[in-house]
Amino acid sequence: MAFVAAAAVLGCAFAADKAAEAECNGNVIRLYTRPLSYEVEKLGKTLVPRTEIGLCMNGTCLARDAELVGAPKTSKLRAATLATPVYKKSSVKTGGVETLADFGDFTVRLVARDDGVAYRIETRKTGVITCEKADLSVPKNARCWFNRTPRGKLGHEETVPEFADASALTNDVAKAFYLPFVFSVDGKTVAVTESDIRDYPVLNFGDVEDAGDAMRLRSLFAKYPKTVAHAANGDKGWANRSILAKGGRWIDVIATEDFIAKAETPRALPWRVFIIADAPSKLCEADMVYALAEPAAEGADFSWVKPGQVAWDWWNGFDNKGEANGCNTETYERFIDFAAETGVEYVILDEGWSAKLDIWRYSPAVDVPRLIEYAGRKGVGIILWMAWAQVYGDEEHVAEHFAKLGAKGFKVDFIDRADAVVATFLDRFAAACAKNRMVVDYHGIYRPSGLQRKYPNILNFEGIHGLEQMKWAKVDKDMCLNDVACFFLRMTAGPMDYTPGAMDNYAIGAYRGSYNDPGSVGTRAHQMALMALYEAPLQMLSDSPTKYEANMECFSFMAKTPVVWDRTVGLGGCPETFAAAARMAKDGSWFAAGITNKDAREVSFKSSFLGEGEWKAEMFRDAEGEGADARDYVHETKTVKAGDVLTFKMSSGGGFIVRFSK
């Protein structure tokens, strides 16, 4: 995939002059000129040292020697409570401070809120955006947590998180950092991400440079596609893609333009977001990505959107019968019956329902119209999987056709690109689905950036090293490290299609992948905890009806765990140790959950989030004692009061989950 590094286009010597700032409750973002640059502070402590930014359009750098036109304009953002139809909270606060700095051809807009700061560039010129310089400087004494992907696969965001001191970050010409990029310095935690991407590539960081007191990460963007071709992979790998006339899984970029985006009218670039928290565990409470994103159109009705859980077929080999034998009408009737009996809202028909990835031809073994009708009679919705090559350019037709057939939504897979054309597609297809009252799960895609605020029918995004990786995991796979870190990194950007719920659980080092009969690394309680710990308005239950029926004590609890919430509270941990949070359900009950990495540990927290009175605490936790199996657990009930201290001993790769009810 072609890309452009901003550092190669924009460059000036440093001599900073303060131009503007926005401040809210100690969170400060400050703008300078000569050269155009920004810095981020919290209560006087520098979190992001001065870092140059800029914009190059039609081959000309607009930011070089830019001068302010008049004085910056600072105003308070209207403090309001925004109701959220599908989110981790029932409402979001919209207050803060905004400052506009006018440079003639472009404006820099600064925003400061209680949960962080952000900036964006808005251009008045039209043409093409050759490059945006959106670098990041990280103090050398910071501890960093991040994900990287090969530079040739920008947009493929399914790697295991990494940890390093900022001073140890080194340049790797083969890899790029993707967002969110999280670091802690001077007792504060910063998550760098973005919001409100419109017809624009997502931000990555490429080259790493020593900038004296900081390490500088250079912005990296995919170029605008010029020539594309449909592609397929016969060996299920990346190496041997063959170009096809049409069809296939991917739409590969063959050649690119010399720019990253278009500006046919004056336009805004995405928000560059810096979420600021007093501890890593508080990142899950932040709302910046959602609050800064484009809202739904005035008067738009999304009351029909139904979040929920999904009985999923592909991960468990179609009820462990294998792809060839299990992908058929009879098996899907089995999934539908199971969902109806257990209160699961959806069943997905994953890859195999259509003939050779052609959504206009059904597999002879799968009677799709009959299954949709059968599921509808039982109160279960059908979601159809497809590779994006099957829908791109035909969005309206696809949404209208399958809506008339009775399908409730789509899971769109194998996008795996990071350019502006992809961002345009995500918006266009979500709009087509909304028009036809269908939900969307964007799988095989980069992290979310708030598009679900404009289209609440977008229920989930992948962009994560999820449980599907266990189908081909090696014996040394330590998935628990990944699970903990993802709570602080990937989930900070928004909901994630991790697909938890495995019933065959193995100790770290005791599992080898199985394509048709996979399991998970870590304990049973670890898997159950993910149901409440991870944000996913469309939560796929990964295992088979057969295995769930053999473990109904656990499954019944999981199936009753909500997927949208009224409140979210971080309880503790950091990317390298454990994660714990509490969430309030719509019915007033609370769930608390936690997971640990390979290290067994004892975790305590106060239940001060509970209201007055006594509460019943129903919990699943790790079994203790010598010889305990990863599948073993303790299910018990206690009576607690708000403020009581609860303590859990988590085994290696362990976890816990509690439901508090009056």
CATH of domain 308-563: 3.20.20.70
Q: What is the pLDDT of residue 241?
A: 55
The pLDDT tens digits of the residues spanning 550-586 come to 999 999 999 999 999 999 999 999 999 999 999 999 9
Assess whether pLDDT exceeds 60 at residue 422: yes
Assess whether pLDDT exceeds 70 at residue 47: yes
CATH 2.50.20.10 corresponds to the domain 3-223+260-292: no
Please give the Cα distance from 163 to 378 (Å, whole number): 48
The pLDDT tens digits of the residues spanning 423-440 come to 999 999 999 999 999 999
Q: What is the pLDDT of residue 331?
A: 98
Assess whether pLDDT exceeds 80 at residue 231: no
Question: ω into residue 180 within 30 of 0, thus cis?
Answer: yes
413 as an active site residue: the answer is yes
Asked whether 658 and 635 are in contact (CB, 8 A), the reply is no
**Residue 570 Cα distances to 70, 277, 281, 389, 476, angstroms:** 43, 11, 5, 39, 30
Please give the Cα distance from 582 to 566 (Å, whole number): 11
> Averaged over 27-56, what is the pLDDT?
97
| Residue-wise DSSP of 388-403 | GGGTTT-HHHHHHHHH
Annotate 490-504 with three-state secondary structure: HHHHCCCCCCCCCCC
- Tokens linked to 428: 């266009």
Please give the Cα distance from 633 to 276 (Å, whole number): 37
Give the number of other Cβ atoms within 10 Å of residue 267's Cβ: 18
pLDDT bucket at 243, cuts 50 / 70 / 90: low
Q: What is the pLDDT of residue 65?
A: 84
- Beta bridge partner(s), residue 41: 28, 46
Please give the Cα distance from 225 to 113 (Å, whole number): 36
In the block, tokens 């899971």 appear at 411
What are the extents of the domains in the chain? Answer: 3-223+260-292, 226-256, 308-563
Phi/psi of residue 608, nearest 5 degrees: -70, -15
To 5 degrees, how large is the angle CA 402–CA 404–CA 409?
A: 40
Share of the chain above pLDDT 90, in %: 90
Q: Which amino acid is at 187?
A: G
- Tokens linked to 368: 């799709």
pLDDT bucket at 5, cuts 50 / 70 / 90: low
> Averaged over 330-355, what is the pLDDT?
97
468 as an active site residue: the answer is yes
Please give the Cα distance from 145 to 31 (Å, whole number): 26
Please give the Cα distance from 7 to 441 (Å, whole number): 35
Best CA proximity match to 10, nearest among 78, 58, 49, 60: 60
Please give the Cα distance from 314 to 383 (Å, whole number): 13
Active-site entry in 39, 132, 207, 413? 413
The pLDDT tens digits of the residues spanning 110-137 come to 999 999 999 999 999 999 999 999 999 9
| Residue-wise DSSP of 360-387 | EEE-TT--HHHHHHHHHHTT-EEEEEEE
- Tokens linked to 555: 């499954």
In the block, tokens 């979310």 appear at 448
Best CA proximity match to 529, nearest among 581, 479, 570, 489: 581
CA dihedral 204, 206, 209, 214 (to 10 degrees): 20
pTM for this entry: 0.96
Q: What is the pLDDT of residue 242?
A: 56
The pLDDT tens digits of the residues spanning 284-293 come to 999 999 999 9
Share of the chain above pLDDT 70, in %: 95
> Averaged over 158-168, what is the pLDDT?
98
- Beta bridge partner(s), residue 348: 383
CA dihedral 629, 631, 632, 638 (to 10 degrees): 150
The pLDDT tens digits of the residues spanning 439-479 come to 999 999 999 999 999 999 999 999 999 999 999 998 888 89
The more confidently predicted of residues 13 and 502 is: 502
Assess whether pLDDT exceeds 80 at residue 245: no
User: Which H or E run includes 527?
Assistant: helix 524-533
Give the number of other Cβ atoms within 10 Å of residue 239's Cβ: 6
- Tokens linked to 167: 């001073």
- Beta bridge partner(s), residue 119: 110, 272
CA 138 to chain centre: 23
Active-site entry in 39, 367, 462, 468? 468
